[in-house]
Amino acid sequence: MFLGWLKKQPEPVCLKKEKAQKTMGTKEKTQEIKSLLDQEITPKLNKQKRSFIQYQKSATELEGLGRPLCACEWQDAYDRVGKKQKEVEGKENNIREGQFKEESRKKMRASGKGCCCRAKDKRRGKRGRIFG
């Protein structure tokens, strides 16, 4: 009961006055802080916000342009690889054909028949006429 009686007692006038002055002081400080925010900090933040948004738009646009470019470069490289593979296959076929011709010439020479060109050359005389 005694505690309840202490809490319900009215505060002295000097304490109320001090509390009122404290609250007025804090209100003034908060108003100063708000005015500082409104005048100095908020414009700087808005400027930074605008520049960041512009950066984000540019980055998004760059990414959007980069994808088709990368795909185009890949397709060009893929086409070049295909062309080079065809060239290599053609050269390999030429080499195989050349080796085949060389092997057939060696076989003909080994068998003693020779090629048809030599047979014609043997029948020709000095002036290029064919005898026989």
pLDDT at 3 over 90: no
Average pLDDT (19-35) is: 84
Task: Let me know: does 130 contact 120? Beta carbons within 8 Å.
Answer: yes
Model pLDDT for residues 75-130, shown as the tens digit of each residue: 999 999 999 999 999 989 888 888 878 888 887 887 776 555 555 555 555 555 55
Q: Report residue 11's pLDDT band, with 50, 70 and 90 as the boundaries.
A: low
Alpha carbon distances (Å) from 101 to 10, 35, 98, 107: 124, 97, 5, 10
Backbone CA torsion sign across 104, 105, 106, 112: positive
State residue 86's pLDDT score: 94
Model pLDDT for residues 40-83, shown as the tens digit of each residue: 888 899 999 999 999 999 999 999 998 899 999 999 999 999 99
State residue 108's pLDDT score: 80
d(CA 51, CA 45): 10
Q: What percent of the chain has pLDDT over 90?
A: 28
Tokens at 94, concatenated: 């030429």
52: Cα separation from own chain's centroid:
22
DSSP state of 25: H
pLDDT at 27 over 60: yes
State residue 111's pLDDT score: 78
